[in-house]
């Protein structure tokens, strides 16, 4: 019997959150045993979940396999070696919140030997024997994931290169499952799989995933299997995006293991045609197996190490200055690595000004990474206003910013620089042409980075310019795919990835363009200019700029700076804005989306999208910045919306919030007045949290039958008994024809003996009577015997009783945030952006 270990307690060196995830990590090879440069040794490569499960390092030289501990293995140049991992990043399990340091990865070296049609390939691998017990609970659900980075190049010919696989028996063709890099001509560089079928043959599925992963860049890959006798299902993911789905009745319903099962990482041993013909050329890290169907938002993610990042050359947060007033020479934001940012007003004229604006981005915080585990308050930003004619203005200069990037190391030529330049910006004026937001360079020399507003034909867009390959003429790499001058904050980034010979630009964390076989060199003495061309020579920007950062590393988007609502450790997981669709989108991970379904209840109609909330802005937090213009909502007339089963709902503490405008009720097809009593025990349902594919609810929010000013929640406790809790509105009806914000909070204690439930209306807690304290009400635990839930909107117990009106902006949170973090709403968006 293997030990059941939850995500939140995987290892002692992970910072454990209080949240318990409802899935088991079966195995997790982190490769943290030794320092980079040391060979993998016998008996040391351990599963972090169960340290008694040890991977045996092996090296194949042609048809001969040598195990770790032998002299031949120790002298081999192809043995698995610990290597440096993703620089400056940590590994985070988003479900539990556990954050682990990442000190090493495993590198697998390969070489071609022999000759003929089946030449020998030298290389190492890791073998985990007797894993039948390890995988015995994965017969119906399994998720396998890892981070990989290839070093073999696109022209490698390894037949196929296994990443991680389970082999049953003594034949190289006996995979129960195998995840690998496809190196054959039809699928060169693609992520592929082999799986066993009911017919006893190996089914090859190598051609469908189109994205290549053999590019020398770190990628996250995942294989997810859910098996039933009628409809087994397999999905492949690359970088959190599903690239292939396979459903085939021939796939075994129980595929993870066999009698002589072994798990291999990085290649196969002597079973590989006796020729060492299956080897992975590159690095593998964080191989994790879970006995559950995980969604992308639950996969392992990477985060920056945050403010202690030694590769940050300059970070200007614009959080105050050395003087109450901005005067010539004021140092802004402090220094990093000896580089100062200095304010200049020498070019100011009538109408030009600069100031710290404490109203913009108030109530937000800044963190390094989309899943930042540490954030700092963001109290102000720099506001720049040019002269009336636009010819003069103020700017910020960081002289010699490139000194921190420059090196005279003869082994690192001028062309070989990895760095990232990023900032947040918001335009104050529409249609400004060629205004400089941020620039690195100098007059008469090449320009490594230049963010500007667009030209006369694309004035609403942000443009990314540079001088490629040390040229003197600037080139436009691309423009933002969305409007830049829409009155909203945007993130801009340029990445010089010299290691992989590519230059990439991003707008709001989405790739705008890539220039291959290019580089952006720097020279000593180049300055960084914020809000204008170099030395105040023109192109003055009107708007707000914040958190300018230069990092001596080619960052991935998950490492860029991000803004969060205050207290964002309790992050929203899903949001359905109902903007003419039923997408329940992952808030923390925008790659992840659930598509809901709108339908007619008995005798009714499907929801109709209407502009009942036209022009309103949704705010992330009562004091947060505007999040999205909100035009549409769903009109419900004997209708419902169902968001499908998702493991993201499986939280021990969570919040469901939404906007609603209820107009009345219908009993059958007959409309009743808003203050009508429904009579008996009849319900007009608002939200139902339903287990799996059944109709049985865990909890159900509805209007009280005989009280038009009250809500009631029926909640199923740990014993399966339904308890009812009532909450009364003060001085108004549930269905008063006005927009209101509601939130339901559920939280159980660690041993599930008690569960609290709370209802908020318009950000205020409700009580069950006018004299009762406005505190959470408790029930005897929360029913948890079945995993998988659906969220249903406007579904009632009886088909004859219906609540009427509009539903908008449903959001599902992990945890129970303060009401100040709920979605706010303003009647007119212009009120928030006209100054």
| pLDDT in the model for residue 228 | 61
More confident of the two residues 828 and 328:
328
Percentage of residues in the chain having pLDDT higher than 90: 19
pLDDT of residue 29: 92
Dig out the tokens for 144 from the structure: 């396998």
pLDDT band for position 258 (50/70/90)? low
Is the separation of the CB atoms in 382 and 539 below 8 Å? no
Among 265, 256, 261, 294, which residue's Cα sits nearest to residue 135?
A: 256
Question: Phi-psi category of 171—alpha, beta or left, where left has phi over 0 and alpha has psi -120 to 50?
Answer: beta
Residues 6+ apart with CB under 8 A from 287: 27, 28, 29, 144, 145, 146, 164, 265
Q: Does residue 615 register a pLDDT over 80?
A: no
What is the spatial distance between Cα 286 and Cα 164, in angstroms, rounded to a whole number?
11
Mean pLDDT of 380-390: 82
What's the rounded Cα separation, in Å, for the pair 423 and 833?
Answer: 20
Q: Which of 50, 253, 232, 35 is nearest to 134 (CA)?
A: 50
Q: Is the pLDDT of residue 759 over 60?
A: yes
CB 579 within 8 A of CB 785: no
Classify each residue of 540-570 as buried b or exposed e, where b means 16 or more C-beta atoms within 10 Å of its C-beta. Answer: bbbbbbbbbbbbbbbbbbbbbbbbbbbbbbb
**DSSP assignments along 433-468, one per residue:** -S-EEEEEE-TTS--SEEEEE--TTSTTSEEEEE-G
What's the mean pLDDT in 773-795? 85
255 or 148: which carries more pLDDT confidence? Answer: 148
Give the model confidence (pLDDT) of 44-60 as tens digits.
898 888 878 888 898 88
Burial letters 759-795, b for 16+ CB under 10 A, else e: bbbebebbbbeeeeeeebbbbebbbbeebbbbbbbbb
Band of pLDDT at residue 21, cut at 50, 70 and 90 = very low
Which tens digits make up the pLDDT trace of 280-290? Answer: 888 899 999 98
DSSP letters along 747-810, please?
EE-TTSS-EEEEEEETTEE-BSSTTS-S--EEES----SS--EEEEES--SSTTEEEEEEEEEE
- Where in 114-218 does DSSP place strands (E)? 120-129, 141-150, 160-168, 175-182, 190-196, 202-204
Q: Mapping DSSP to helix (H, G, I), strand (E, B) and coil, where does residue 232 land?
A: coil
Q: Is the pLDDT of residue 88 over 50?
A: no
Q: Are 449 and 441 in contact (CB under 8 A)?
A: yes
Contact 419, 529 (CB under 8 A): no
Percent of the chain with pLDDT over 70: 72
Report how far apart, in Å, the C-alpha atoms of 209 and of each of 205, 212, 213, 231 are. 9, 8, 10, 21
- What average pLDDT score do residues 345-373 get? 65
195 pairs with which residues across the strands?
A: 177, 203
Among the listed residues 719, 733, 601, the one whose alpha carbon sits nearest the alpha carbon of residue 668: 601
DSSP β-ladder status, 490-497 and 339-344? unpaired
Evaluate if residue 755 carries a pLDDT over 80: yes
| Model pLDDT, residue 446 | 63
Please name the residues in contact with 219: beta carbons below 8 A apart, sequence gap of 6 or more.
Answer: 147, 148, 149, 213, 238, 239
**C-alpha–C-alpha distance, residues 234 and 293, integer Å:** 10
d(CA 699, CA 649): 13
Q: What is the pLDDT of residue 154?
A: 41
| CA–CA gap between residue 127 and residue 65 (Å, rounded) | 12
**Range with lowest mean pLDDT among 39-53, 380-394, 563-577:** 563-577
Is the distance from CB of 139 to CB of 176 less than 8 angstroms?
no
Q: How confident is the model at residue 537 (pLDDT cuts 50, 70, 90)?
A: confident
Residue 324 pLDDT class (50, 70, 90 cuts) = low
In this prediction, residue 791 has a pLDDT band, given cuts at 50, 70 and 90, of: very high
Structure confidence at residue 210 (pLDDT)? 55
Q: Yes or no: say if 579 and 630 are a contact pair by the CB < 8 Å rule.
A: yes
Q: What is the distance between the alpha carbons of residues 630 and 809, in angstroms, rounded to a whole number?
A: 9
Is the pLDDT at 700 greater than 90, yes or no?
Answer: yes
pLDDT in tens, 211-245: 677 766 678 899 988 876 556 678 888 878 788 88
**Any idea what DSSP says for residue 97?**
T
Residue 740's beta-bridge partner residues? 660
Contact 628, 710 (CB under 8 A): no
Instruction: Please tell me what DSSP assigns to residue 595.
Output: E
Q: Are 658 and 807 in contact (CB under 8 A)?
A: yes
What is the mean predicted confidence (pLDDT) over 147-160?
63
* Mean pLDDT, the chain, integer: 76
Over residues 80-104, mean pLDDT: 74
Coil, strand or helix: which one is 186?
helix
**Interstrand relation of 583-586 and 653-667 (parallel, antiparallel or unpaired):** unpaired
Instruction: Report the first-to-last Cα separation within the chain, whole angstroms.
Output: 66
Predicted pLDDT of residue 297: 76
Answer for the pair 88, 311: CB distance below 8 angstroms, yes or no.
yes
Q: Which pLDDT score is estimated for 600?
A: 94
- Quickly state the pLDDT bin for 742 (edges 50, 70, 90): very high
Q: pLDDT digit string (tens) for 406-445?
A: 765 544 445 557 889 999 999 888 878 878 889 888 755 6
Q: Does residue 812 surpass a pLDDT of 80?
A: yes
Rounded to an integer, what distance in angstroms lies between the CA atom of residue 255 and that of residue 249? Answer: 13
Residues 6+ apart with CB under 8 A from 113: 61, 62, 119, 120, 121, 122
Query: What confidence category does residue 19 fall into, taking pLDDT thresholds of 50, 70 and 90?
Result: very low
Mean pLDDT to the nearest integer, 295-316: 73
Say how far apart CA 268 and CA 716 lie, in whole Å.
51
Q: What is the pLDDT of residue 16?
A: 25
How far apart are the C-alpha atoms of 540 and 531, rounded to whole Å?
Answer: 6
pLDDT at 637 over 60: yes
CB atoms within 10 A of CB 23: 20
**Cα–Cα distance measured from residue 712 to residue 697, given in angstroms and rounded to the nearest whole number:** 14
Of residues 605 and 53, the one with the higher pLDDT is: 605
Residues whose CB is less than 8 angstroms from the CB of residue 114 and which lie 6 or more positions away in sequence, other chains included: 62, 120, 275
Q: Which residues of 138-148 are buried (b: 16+ CB within 10 A; e: fewer)?
A: bbbbbbbbbbb
- The better pLDDT of the pair 373, 422 is held by 422
Rounded to whole angstroms, the Cα distance separating 194 from 173 reads 9
DSSP states of 526-584? -EEEESSSGGG-S----EEEEEEEEESS---GGGSEEEEETTTTS-EEEEE--SSS-EE
389: Cα within 13 Å, side-chain hemisphere: 7
Question: Cβ–Cβ contacts within 10 Å for residue 348, how many?
Answer: 21
Nearest-angstrom CA–CA distance, 99 and 433: 44
**Segment 454-483, tens digit of pLDDT:** 776 767 888 888 877 666 567 788 888 778
pLDDT tier at 617, thresholds 50, 70, 90 = low
pLDDT (average), residues 765-788? 83
Confidence band of 762 (pLDDT split at 50, 70, 90): confident
Pair of tokens at residue 609: 């999208």
**What number of residues does the chain have?**
835
How far is the C-alpha of 677 from the C-alpha of 661, rounded, in Å? Answer: 19
3-state SS class at 832: helix
User: What pLDDT, on a 0 to 100 scale, did the predictor assign at position 274?
Assistant: 45
CA-wise closest residue to 261 among 197, 196, 205:
196
CA distance 168 to 737: 64
Q: What is the pLDDT of residue 833?
A: 29
Question: What is the separation of C-alpha 670 from the centre of its chain, rounded to a whole number of angstroms?
Answer: 46
Q: Are 384 and 421 in contact (CB under 8 A)?
A: no
Cβ–Cβ < 8 Å for 656, 807: no
Q: How would residue 662 be classed by pLDDT, with cut points 50, 70 and 90?
A: very high
What secondary structure letter does DSSP report for 138?
G
Taking 70 as the threshold, does the pLDDT of residue 118 lie above it? no
pLDDT, average across residues 477-496:
84
- Of 418 and 766, the one with more pLDDT: 766
Q: Which of 373-382, 524-533, 687-696 has the lowest mean pLDDT?
A: 373-382
């Amino acid at each position: 019997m293997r030990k059941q270990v939850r995500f939140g307690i995987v290892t002692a060196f992970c910072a454990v959150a209080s949240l318990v995830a409802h899935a088991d990590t079966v195995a997790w090879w982190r490769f943290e045993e030794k320092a980079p440069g040391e060979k993998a040794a016998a008996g040391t490569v351990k599963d972090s979940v169960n340290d008694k499960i040890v991977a045996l390092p092996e090296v194949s030289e042609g048809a001969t396999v040598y195990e770790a501990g032998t002299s031949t293995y120790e002298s081999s140049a192809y043995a698995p070696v610990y290597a440096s991992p993703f620089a400056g990043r940590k590994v985070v399990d988003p479900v539990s919140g556990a954050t682990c340091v990442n000190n090493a990865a495993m590198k697998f070296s390969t070489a071609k030997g022999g000759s003929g049609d089946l030449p020998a390939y030298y290389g190492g691998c890791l073998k985990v024997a007797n894993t039948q017990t390890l995988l015995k609970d994965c017969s119906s659900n399994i998720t396998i994931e890892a981070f990989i980075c290839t070093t073999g190049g696109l022209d490698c010919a390894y037949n196929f290169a296994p990443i991680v696989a389970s082999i049953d028996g003594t034949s190289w063709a006996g995979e129960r499952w195998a995840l690998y890099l496809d190196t054959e001509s039809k699928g060169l560089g693609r992520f592929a799989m082999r799986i066993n079928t009911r017919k006893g043959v190996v089914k090859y599925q190598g051609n469908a995933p189109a994205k290549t992963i053999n590019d020398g860049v770190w990628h996250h890959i995942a294989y997810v299997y859910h098996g039933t006798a009628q409809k087994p299902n397999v999905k492949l993911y690359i970088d959190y995006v599903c690239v292939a789905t396979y459903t085939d009745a021939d796939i075994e319903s129980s595929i993870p293991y066999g009698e002589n099962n072994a798990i291999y990482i990085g290649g196969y041993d002597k079973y590989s045609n006796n020729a060492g013909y299956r080897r992975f050329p590159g690095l593998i890290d964080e191989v994790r197996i879970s006995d559950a169907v995980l969604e992308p938002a639950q996969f392992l993610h990477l985060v920056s190490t945050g403010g202690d990042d030694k590769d940050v050359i300059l970070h200007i947060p614009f959080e105050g200055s050395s003087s109450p007033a901005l005067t010539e020479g004021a140092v802004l934001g402090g220094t990093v690595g000896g580089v100062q940012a200095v304010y200049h007003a020498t070019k100011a004229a009538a109408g030009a000004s600069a100031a710290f604006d404490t109203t913009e981005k108030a109530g937000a915080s800044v963190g390094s990474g989309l899943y930042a585990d540490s954030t700092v308050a963001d109290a102000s930003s720099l506001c720049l206003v040019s002269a009336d004619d636009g010819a003069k203005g103020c700017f910020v200069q960081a002289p010699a910013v490139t000194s921190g990037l420059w090196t005279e190391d003869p082994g690192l030529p001028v062309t070989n620089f990895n760095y990232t330049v990023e900032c947040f910006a918001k335009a104050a004026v529409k249609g400004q042409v060629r205004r400089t937001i941020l620039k690195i360079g100098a007059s008469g020399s090449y320009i490594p980075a230049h963010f500007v507003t667009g030209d006369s034909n694309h004035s609403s867009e942000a443009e990314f310019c540079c001088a490629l390959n040390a040229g003197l003429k600037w080139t436009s790499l691309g423009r933002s795919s969305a409007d830049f001058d829409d009155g909203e904050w945007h993130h801009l980034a340029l990445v010089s990835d010299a290691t992989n010979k590519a230059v990439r630009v991003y707008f709001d964390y989405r790739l705008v363009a890539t220039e291959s076989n290019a580089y952006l060199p720097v020279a000593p003495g180049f300055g960084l200019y914020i809000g204008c061309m170099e030395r105040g020579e023109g192109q003055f920007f009107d708007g707000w700029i914040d958190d300018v950062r230069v990092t001596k590393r080619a960052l991935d988007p998950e490492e860029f700076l991000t803004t969060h609502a205050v207290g964002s450790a309790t992050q929203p997981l899903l949001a359905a804005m109902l903007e003419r669709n039923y997408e329940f989108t992952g808030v923390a991970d925008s790659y992840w989306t659930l598509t809901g379904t709108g339908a007619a209840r008995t005798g009714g109609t499907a929801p109709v999208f209407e502009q009942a909330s036209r022009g309103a802005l949704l705010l992330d937090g009562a004091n947060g910045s505007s999040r999205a213009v909100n035009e549409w909502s769903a009109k419900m007339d004997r209708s419902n919306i169902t968001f499908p089963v998702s493991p993201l709902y499986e939280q021990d503490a969570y919040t469901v919030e939404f906007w609603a405008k209820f107009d009345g009720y219908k009993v059958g097809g007959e409309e009743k007045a808003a203050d009508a009593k429904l009579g008996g025990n009849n319900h007009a349902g608002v939200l139902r949290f339903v287990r799996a594919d059944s109709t049985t609810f865990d909890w159900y929010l509805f209007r009280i039958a005989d009280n038009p000013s009250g809500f009631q929640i029926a909640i199923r406790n740990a014993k399966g008994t339904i308890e009812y809790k009532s909450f009364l509105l003060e001085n108004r009806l549930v269905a008063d024809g006005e927009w209101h914000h509601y939130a339901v909070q559920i939280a159980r204690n660690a041993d599930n003996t008690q569960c609290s439930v709370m209802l908020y209306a318009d950000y205020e807690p409700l009580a069950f009577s006018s004299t009762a304290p406005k505190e959470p009400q408790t029930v005897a635990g929360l029913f948890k015997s079945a995993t998988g839930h659906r969220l249903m909107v406007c579904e009632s117990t009886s088909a004859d009783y219906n609540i009427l009106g509009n539903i908008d902006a449903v959001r599902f949170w992990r945890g129970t945030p303060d009401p100040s973090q709920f979605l706010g709403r303003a009647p007119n968006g212009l009120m928030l952006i006209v100054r």
